[in-house]
Amino acid sequence: MIAFVSGPVAALAPDTAVVEVGGIGMALQCTPNTLAELRVGQHAKLATSLVVREDSLTLYGFADDDEKQVFELLQTANGVGPRLAQAVLSVHTPDALRRAFATGDEKALTAVPGIGKKGAQKLLIELKDRLGAPVGNAPAVGAPVTSGWRDQLHAALIGLGYATREADEAVTAVAPQAEASDQPNIGALLKAALQTLNRAR
């Protein structure tokens, strides 16, 4: 079991970070929030969870052990695989999730792409007493993981190697999409921003 990886960040993509470990590039699937904290060439230490399938081995990377533990716990619920668990953590911090489960907040869960009302109700029943109580000052349930989607998206684009001017233009281009939602999805905005940058080149 690979508990964590530590080393310089060799490359970043919209959903992946490559960390060099002993001369080997380890590809990790990460949430946009984790990727936004990484920079190519800088040292990083990410908690990891290895998901084994018949036809693949996928390593998921996390900012800390708490996020990793919540990721693994979410998958103990029926119908929740690693991709959906990662989508949940792309929208909510672990503590925001704990608050959602503690208060039975369906709306917070249905804010996650791929979770409908029935799915949210099932998750609340299955995991209600398993996530534990919030451990820090989490944002209000249903709030974005960070207060400013612009700053987070801008940092992610800079981390992917784009110039400040390009990042500024891309953020401006997706602003209407972000402002149309009460809770902007950073992953979706990052993909849209990358599409606008590709068209501009």
Going 71 to 73 to 75 to 78, the CA torsion angle's sign is: negative
Total domain count for the chain? 3
Whether 139 is covered by a domain: the verdict is no
Q: In this structure, are 16 and 54 located in the same domain?
A: yes
Taking the mean position of all CA atoms in its chain, how far away is CA 156?
12
Helix (H) or strand (E) holding 19: strand 16-21
Tell me the backbone φ, ψ of residue 78, rounded to 5 degrees: -60, 135
| CATH number for position 29 | 2.40.50.140
Q: In this structure, are 154 and 170 located in the same domain?
A: yes
Q: Which of 47, 62, 77 is the last residue of a domain?
A: 62
Whether 134 is covered by a domain: the verdict is no
Q: In this structure, are 57 and 80 located in the same domain?
A: no
List b or e across 20-38, with b for residues whose CB sees 16 or more CB atoms inside 10 angstroms. Answer: beeeeebebbbbbbbbbbb
| CATH number for position 187 | 1.10.8
Question: Residue 170 belongs to what domain range?
Answer: 149-200
CB 131 within 8 A of CB 73: yes
Q: Give the residue carrying structure tokens 């109700």.
A: 121
| CATH number for position 109 | 1.10.150.20
Q: In this structure, are 40 and 71 located in the same domain?
A: no
Tens-digit pLDDT profile for the chain (201 aa)? Answer: 789 999 999 999 888 999 999 999 999 999 888 888 899 999 999 999 999 988 889 999 999 999 999 999 999 998 899 999 999 998 888 888 988 888 888 998 998 888 899 999 999 999 877 877 766 544 443 444 444 778 777 777 776 777 888 888 888 998 888 888 777 777 778 888 888 887 655
Whether 140 is covered by a domain: the verdict is no
Taking the mean position of all CA atoms in its chain, how far away is CA 190?
11
Whether 142 is covered by a domain: the verdict is no
